[in-house]
């Protein structure tokens, strides 16, 4: 009664299905939603990563442009400062222009014109005063009146703007670029000036180093002619022909600088990063799922264990009550002295003794079990003849087996050596196994007990022709409280402790308990001891 007592306010434990549902809702569903969300966002992040790369490439191009511009600025400064002292409509001081051109091979010529650009007063080229150059310049300036006016206006506000212009190609030998700007002498008198650049040389000798530096082994930077797509320069030989980012060079209206990643394209890099993310996501999911699985499994085991334990309590209380009730009933009958013959009395006494033995066995099992659980069961090892133990245990079983009509086959090997063991413990293990064989055997009441020596083991086999044990339970029946679920063992009551105790005892002796079974045909349990030569006598 006490064991069945459960106050109403104690919550019923969750069912395993409830636990599975909670895990599903709390863990699996969020993970699933998150994964789907992430995967659907992957294409977006691919273009995001690509954008970042593109911007990075753009910055590299920008810095090259900026550098070219800085160089041009330095040159216009040098020209203005060199010219200033002579001033007015005057030419460069003697030697200045030659020396300037000598220092900067990318410059083809410098010139000075009046502030309207109508009259080119001085022009110094690489090969002296070159007339075709002068002619082309004149054509250009004639067409750029508004620009020159604007440069002049800006210069009155102290701002010296540089405007690159492409020279007209008069003779089919290429145009070239002039940088036009307005400068002022010491008295503030303005003049239009220009620096004619050699595009290819500028790109190669001024920008080249810079572009190689910016490329840094990771990128290929090239310069193209916009008009016909020709490649003028490449930071490195190879697949630079197809840049992913292009920018016009501010200084050269006809040139573009382009950049691409070496080897992979931005698209490929972005994709490989994204697919790496995907792999991480999948791995994470797998870890989470297996975590959930582990939790689910251990909860399931735990719940099963709790169930087995409560079965145990109800079985044990049944096992305690049945013999007690019998003993009491028989004792009371005897006490009242209403029994007729002596024979009947003897039968009643016998039943009382048998039931007491059963009770003792059960209580011993329980006590030993709890001591064993705590690891406090002492074993007194001494040389032991297994045949003797088998005989004495079978003797105690014979009344029961006889009355139930068991046929017993004994197959003892008289030559087996002694084993070192605790007699009481070995008896207990054997009793538990024999008890099962008797208890679970159905109509086929057959029992064979054999001893012998196999390799380096000495064994006792206990064979029955009972229902056998399904493969999936062959290990589990040795677990504490575990009982093969009905209908396999419908009638027999038990605690689920017997085999756990037997295995514990055998392992404490350095031996083992094993099972071979064919469902429907029977089971053979084997208690095996290690054979040690020094115990041989």
Binding site for ligand ADP (CB under 6 A): 432, 436-437, 440, 464, 466-467, 469, 477, 483-484, 489, 494-500, 523
Three-state DSSP class for 100?
Answer: helix
Sort residue 283 into left (φ over 0), alpha (ψ -120 to 50) or beta. alpha
Q: How far is the CB of 509 from ligand ADP (least distance, A)?
A: 18
Distance CA 206, CA 200 (A): 10
Question: Which residue number, 269 or 515, has a Cβ lying nearer to ligand ADP?
Answer: 515
State the nearest-atom distance from the C-beta of 421 to ligand ADP, in Å.
20
- Minimal distance, residue 470 CB to ligand ADP, in Å: 9
Instruction: Name which of 233 and 397 has its Cβ closer to ligand ADP.
Output: 397
Decide whether 128 or 520 has the Cβ nearer to ligand ADP: 520
CB of 406 to ligand ADP, least distance (A): 13
- Tokens representing 36 are 């789907």
Q: In the numeric block, which tokens belong to residue 320? A: 């305690």
Give the shortest CB-466-to-ligand ADP separation in angstroms: 4
Closest by alpha carbon to 446, among 468, 427, 475? Answer: 468
Tell me whether residue 164 or residue 498 sits nearer to ligand ADP (CB atom): 498
Question: 452-480 as b/e, with b when 16 or more CB fall inside 10 Å?
Answer: eeeeebbbbbbbbbbbbbeeebbeebbbb
Query: Residue 358's CB: how many other CB atoms inside 10 A?
Result: 18
DSSP symbol at 176:
-
How far apart are CB 45 and ligand ADP at their closest, in Å? 58
From the CB of 502, what's the least distance to ligand ADP, in Å?
8
Residue 245 or 436: which CB sits closer to ligand ADP? 436
Q: Which is nearer to ligand ADP, 215 or 462 (CB)?
A: 462
Label residues 300-335 b or e (16+ Cβ within 10 Å = b).
eeeeeeeebeebbeebbeebeeebeebbeebeeeee
Give the integer Cα–Cα distance in Å for 467 and 380: 36
d(CA 332, CA 324): 12
Give the nearer residue to ligand ADP in terms of CB position, either 38 or 444.
Answer: 444
Least CB distance from residue 12 to ligand ADP, whole Å?
26
Please name the residues in contact with 459: beta carbons below 8 A apart, sequence gap of 6 or more.
Answer: 451, 452, 453, 526, 527, 528, 529
Helix axes of 423-440 and 342-373: crossing angle, nearest 10 degrees: 120
CB of residue 528 to ligand ADP, shortest distance in Å: 17
Alpha carbon distance 497, 481 (integer Å): 5
* Residue (243 or 467) nearer to ligand ADP, CB: 467
**Would you say 182 and 83 are in contact if contact means Cβ atoms under 8 Å apart?**
no
Q: Which is nearer to ligand ADP, 380 or 486 (CB)?
A: 486
């Amino acid at each position: 009664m006490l064991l069945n007592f459960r106050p109403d306010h104690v919550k019923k434990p969750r069912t395993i299905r409830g636990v599975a549902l909670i895990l599903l809702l709390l863990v699996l569903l969020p993970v699933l939603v998150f994964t789907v969300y992430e995967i659907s966002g992957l294409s977006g992040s691919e273009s995001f990563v690509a954008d970042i790369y593109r911007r990075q490439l753009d910055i590299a191009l920008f810095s090259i442009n900026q550098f070219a511009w800085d160089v041009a600025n330095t040159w216009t400064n040098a020209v203005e400062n060199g010219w200033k002292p002579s001033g007015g409509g005057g030419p460069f001081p003697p030697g200045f222009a030659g020396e300037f051109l000598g220092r900067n091979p990318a410059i083809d010529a410098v010139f000075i014109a009046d502030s309207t650009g109508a009259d080119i007063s001085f022009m110094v080229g690489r090969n002296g005063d070159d007339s075709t150059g002068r002619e082309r310049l004149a054509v250009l300036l004639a067409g750029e009146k508004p620009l020159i006016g604007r440069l002049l206006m800006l210069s009155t506000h102290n701002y010296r703007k540089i405007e690159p212009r492409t020279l007209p190609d008069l003779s089919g030998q290429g145009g070239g670029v002039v940088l036009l700007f307005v400068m002022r002498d010491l008295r503030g008198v303005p003049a239009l000036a220009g620096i004619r650049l050699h595009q290819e040389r500028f790109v190669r000798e001024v920008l080249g180093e810079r572009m190689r530096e910016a490329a840094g082994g990771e990128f290929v930077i090239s310069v193209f002619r916009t008009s016909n797509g020709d490649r003028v320069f490449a930071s490195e030989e190879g697949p630079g022909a197809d840049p992913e980012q292009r920018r016009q060079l501010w200084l050269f209206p006809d040139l573009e600088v382009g950049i691409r990643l070496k080897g992979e394209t931005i698209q490929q890099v972005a994709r490989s990063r994204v697919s790496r993310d995907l792999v991480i996501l999948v791995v994470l999911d797998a870890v989470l799922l297996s975590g959930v699985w582990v939790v689910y499994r251990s909860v399931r085991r735990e719940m099963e264990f709790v169930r087995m334990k409560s079965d145990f309590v109800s079985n044990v209380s049944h096992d305690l009550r049945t013999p007690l009730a019998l003993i009491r009933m028989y004792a009371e009958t005897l006490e009242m002295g209403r029994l007729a013959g002596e024979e009947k009395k003897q039968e009643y006494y016998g039943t009382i003794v048998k039931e007491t033995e059963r009770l003792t066995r059960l209580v011993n099992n329980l006590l030993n079990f709890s001591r064993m659980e705590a690891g406090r069961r002492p074993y007194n090892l001494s040389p032991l003849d297994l045949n003797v133990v088998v005989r004495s245990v079978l003797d105690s079983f014979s009344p029961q087996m006889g009355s139930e009509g068991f046929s017993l086959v004994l197959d003892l090997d008289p030559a087996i050596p002694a084993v070192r063991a605790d007699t009481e413990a070995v008896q207990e293990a054997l009793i538990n196994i024999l008890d099962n064989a008797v208890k679970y055997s159905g109509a086929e009441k057959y029992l064979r007990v054999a001893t012998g020596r196999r390799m380096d083991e000495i064994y006792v086999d206990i064979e029955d022709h009972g229902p056998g044990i399904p493969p999936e339970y062959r290990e589990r029946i040795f677990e504490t409280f575990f009982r093969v679920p009905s209908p396999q063992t419908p009638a027999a009551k038990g605690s689920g402790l017997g085999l756990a105790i037997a295995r514990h005892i055998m392992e404490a002796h350095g031996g083992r308990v094993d099972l071979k079974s064919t469902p429907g045909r029977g089971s053979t349990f084997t208690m095996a001891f290690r054979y040690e030569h020094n115990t041989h006598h």
